[in-house]
Chain A
Amino acid sequence: MILHPGILALFIGEGLVIAMSLYASLLGVEVLRRWDINSSSEEQLRLERRTYLISTLMMYVMFYEVLSLFLYIYTLDSIHVIFVGAMCATGTLNANDIGWYALYIKIIVFFLSSSWIAINYLDNSAEDYPLVRAKYKLLLLITPFIVFCGFLLVKYFLGLKPDIITSCCGSLFSDESKKVSGSLAGLPIKAMMVTFYASATLLLPLIVLSITLRNSFLKYLTAVNSFAFFFISMLSIISFISIYFYELPMHHCPFDILQDTYGYVGYPLYSTLFTGVFFSLISGIVEPLKKIQSLTKTVERAQKMWLAISAIGIIAFVTISTWPIIFSSFKVDM
């Protein structure tokens, strides 16, 4: 194990979050079993008060997941020096396969816990709390992910040994690599660019239409599209956006852009993408809730706001990623 302050901070944080989410779901189980909105017993009152605790806990969990995602990558980045052959976070991740899974699950947990917060927000605005059961079932679904994520993270860092020889982003994300990542990097730039801008130009009007029209189908379509856009964007970052930031035609690493050398541009890049995609996804997810009478109005209002945020996020993301393509003198041979 490597005793590094960042790792220690992640361990402590992860431990706290696991404890918090386990406690929250324990309380959630009781709420699920005993909840009766029509009762005015003291029991019901107690449960109702518990819901405040659960939502506060989940709020902290969500904020932690967002922050720790960045801390995780930042830490990977800063310990890469220890490994032979590592040049950035990719190298550290390659030292041990579990690291990648921990990263994926962390992203999933982030999306899940923020969805929970969004649904909780809607539910709290209706007098009859129509989503209580659904909400706590979802909570029970999220908790294993959080626990698993923490478990993987700890296992990953405990398994790291300073003398592991690993491969770096240069070899993983290169056209010649035999792995999946290599074939991602080898995607034809021109085709990828067309796909990226096409999907962005498709998604943005869809969002605008979804804001103005009440059509449910549109909302679903937007959600599906933004989901697709997320993957297209990730592929695009590996395939061509990154190389414009590095001005290195063979360097496809998705993590190096988070480094000081490139002005930490990766942070705004990823956070705008995540925000944009999350908010249009969630507006699609809550669409069926409109059928519940007490929620119709709130859902519609929330959807409008979320879609607007999503549009801003995606516009910002596309702007940031297009910036170097237009303004740098660097040219790629397509």
Chain B
Amino acid sequence: MLKARLFLWLIKIEILLLIGLYIHSHFMVGLREREIYGKRQLVRELSLTDMALFTEARYTRDISQADMFTPFQDFPSSFDHFPAGSIIEPNRDNVRGR
């Protein structure tokens, strides 16, 4: 029953590895807590509201500040700024509701 034993070992090792990675992730998060603290400080002191992930257009740069009209404004002949714009939904959330 060699193959089955080897296979079960492989599975066990992979599961252990996965658990190891899970622990590693917690460890890393703990280790980088200062970084998060620093970022929170940045957000607080510079009064930031958005991540600098996509700088193609206003509505992708400042997702939470954008309104429903923004996708139309930037470049008339283009519907969108690919790829960022195709992944980011125009922000319905803040406009409606209240």
Contacts and interface: CB of A to CB of B under 8 A. Distances in A.
Do any beta carbons of A and B sit within 8 angstroms of each other in the complex?
A: yes
Interface of A: 84, 162-163
A162 B97 CA distance: 10
A175 B74 CA distance: 53
Contacts of A84: 97
B3 interface: no
Contacts, number: 7
A84 B97 CA distance: 10
Interface in B49-98: 92-93, 96-97
A163 B68 CA distance: 15
Interface residues of B, number: 4
A322 B56 CA distance: 57
Would you call the interface of chain B mostly helix, strand, loop, or mixed?
loop
B7 to A, nearest CB: 21
Interface of B: 92-93, 96-97
Contacts of B97: 84, 163
Contacts of B96: 163
Would you call the interface of chain A mostly helix, strand, loop, or mixed?
loop
A162 B92 CA distance: 9
A164 to B, nearest CB: 10
Contacts of A163: 92-93, 96-97
5 contacts: A162-B93, A163-B92, A163-B93, A163-B96, A163-B97
B43 to A, nearest CB: 19
A163 B94 CA distance: 9
A162 B93 CA distance: 7
Contacts of B93: 162-163
Contacts of B92: 162-163
A162 B96 CA distance: 11
Of all A-B residue pairs in the complex, the 6 with the closest CB atoms, nearest first, are A163-B97, A163-B96, A162-B93, A163-B93, A163-B92, A162-B92
B60 to A, nearest CB: 18
Nearest to B97: A163
A10 B93 CA distance: 25
A53 B97 CA distance: 51
Nearest to A164: B97
Nearest to B95: A163
Nearest to A165: B97
Nearest to A84: B97
A263 to B, nearest CB: 15
B64 to A, nearest CB: 14
A238 B8 CA distance: 41
Nearest to B96: A163
A235 B55 CA distance: 53
A84 B93 CA distance: 11
Contacts of A162: 92-93
A55 B21 CA distance: 38
A286 B41 CA distance: 65
A103 B92 CA distance: 29
B25 to A, nearest CB: 14
A84 B92 CA distance: 14
A18 B32 CA distance: 46
A262 to B, nearest CB: 18
A73 B44 CA distance: 35
B45 to A, nearest CB: 26
